[in-house]
A and B are shown apart, each in its own frame.
Chain A
């Protein structure tokens, strides 16, 4: 049983790593939002893990649940914006989304 925290910790690191890797490399806006979700999921898992380590499972879980709500709203807004991007720019390629620069 003592291995579980370590496994979860590795999972957190993987999620965060994948999230950032995708954020850095993908040119697809939908994938960017998915990457954000992965990133945040890493954070949520870490919260639950922290609760377990400290023996305050309830606190960790309730924080994670609340964070999910906030995070979902962000995802909704992000996707709504992505829809608008597709509508106005005709693409969701980030390379086409560079009118604002310099």
Chain B
């Protein structure tokens, strides 16, 4: 049963991808229909799969030699992330019916989206680290192809290539991890290693742990690799919602959570994870304060919220991080998709040109504000519960300084969220002629809005599923009521709520705080320049290009030099052999 379902979850979107691509762009109505059919079918299979979750390997194919056993496991962590990928994937596809209406290259678009959905499901369902790396790269490939979907726009192309190269660069960490695992245990199956980390010698285990941290930071757009995510916002908005908010960027968090029991004891690893998460959460929240591009604000807030999840893992709060991931996927997909409805209607991403859209777009306003409240951590939306759990984990198991920074970030989050909502929906009305979300968009937005309000009710069943299928993670499951009571009773909650309220008050009183705003003028300058990380990127690219250009002079085209090269090679080899014996 579970094996069939896994094959369906991964296979259906891939078959759909081939079909959509095959029937060609001339029959776009059929393409829309097929894409919806296959993604929804895969989503349904993934939801059914949740009820078949177990810790045992359900598919095993012998790929032979160094490729090991291609194994799949439907454990709690895997099935729920697969469900997120496919369900939000199908909602993004439904949304695209309106958003991508009349676009050229629809076949390529849907093929890549469906290929991504299958790849993402594969990434979380496999227990073979080679396969995980393979799917990891497939999602990167799709992300690149979809960011650069509009190839005529140089910014989109540059964003796509940047995203690909940075995530690939980090991917080397995962590659090294997979190779260490195989060379030490003779198998790519990580479950056996997670249950017994002693299989690997401590030094290599440390290499693997930090390799995975690098890979996760690159994939989840964390410090110091986050610069690709804002530039990835050139993608069509449903893609930003699906890949760059709800699914692919979670892969890094998933990786850390998955391997936490194995890496926990590696000296310095947990602290490093905490620092990565904390710095990402904090600086991206500041950058969100100063950005005017609606999608970039959302991108920064994605980095920031992913930072919370990473931070939670560093503090040992696996359940908290995964629960926040679950909440975040829903409310951030909601925010992005409704932002897509706005952008599609207004025709710009600059919030300064929006303003006063609320009256003209009532439906969008309602759902967007639901998402925004969840992001800000206002009770009783899903973001509130999960963020409180994260902060509680930080208070009980993490260092105090990190906890304080994360609290401040929570206040900043509330501040920039309200700034965003205000600029878009309230304030001085813009002159633009706009229309509300179209029917298919509403179909996609409504379930997400509902999810943002009620998904936290699943907290208990979710915890018990993780507990029963992930023995090594030692998750202590409580029922939903117990979790609620715990959150309500915890002092951390009130501290956090106070800080959030402070953020709100600060927004309310922003006119009286202009003095402080002026004092932080330099901060805005630094934030708009991504605190220099962008400059570092540019420097590396420029220098590599320059070196490459200079190296080209060695190809002189003069035959005598070609012969000289031959003799240089000869002499160099002789010297090496004589010196080296």
Contact = CB atoms under 8 A, between A and B. Distances in A.
Direct contact of A and B (CB under 8 A): yes
Interface of A: 20, 23-27, 32, 94-95, 97-102
B564 A24 contact: yes
Interface residues of B, number: 11
Contact of A102 (B552, B559, B564): B552
Nearest to B570: A20
A35 to B, nearest CB: 9
B560 A102 contact: no
B567 A20 contact: yes
A20 B568 CA distance: 12
A97 B552 CA distance: 17
Interface string B522-554: 000000000000000000000000000000110
Interface of B: 552-553, 555-560, 563-564, 567
A23 B563 contact: yes
A11 to B, nearest CB: 21
Contacts of B560: 23-27, 94
10 contacts: A23-B560, A23-B563, A24-B567, A26-B560, A27-B560, A32-B559, A94-B559, A95-B558, A97-B559, A101-B555
A26 B560 CA distance: 8
Contact of A101 (B557, B564, B567): B557
A98 B563 contact: no
B557 A100 contact: yes
A95 B559 CA distance: 8
Given A26-B560, A99-B557, 5 more contacts: A24-B567, A27-B560, A94-B558, A95-B558, A97-B559
A78 to B, nearest CB: 12
B308 to A, nearest CB: 50
B556 A101 contact: yes
A20 B565 CA distance: 12
A82 B287 CA distance: 65
A32 B559 CA distance: 9
A20 B556 contact: no
- Chain A CB count within 10 A is highest, among B552, B555, B559, B567, for B559
- Chain B CB count within 10 A is highest, among A24, A25, A27, A100, for A24
B126 to A, nearest CB: 45
Nearest 5 A-B pairs (CB), nearest first?
A: A101-B557, A98-B557, A102-B552, A23-B563, A94-B559
Contacts of B553: 102
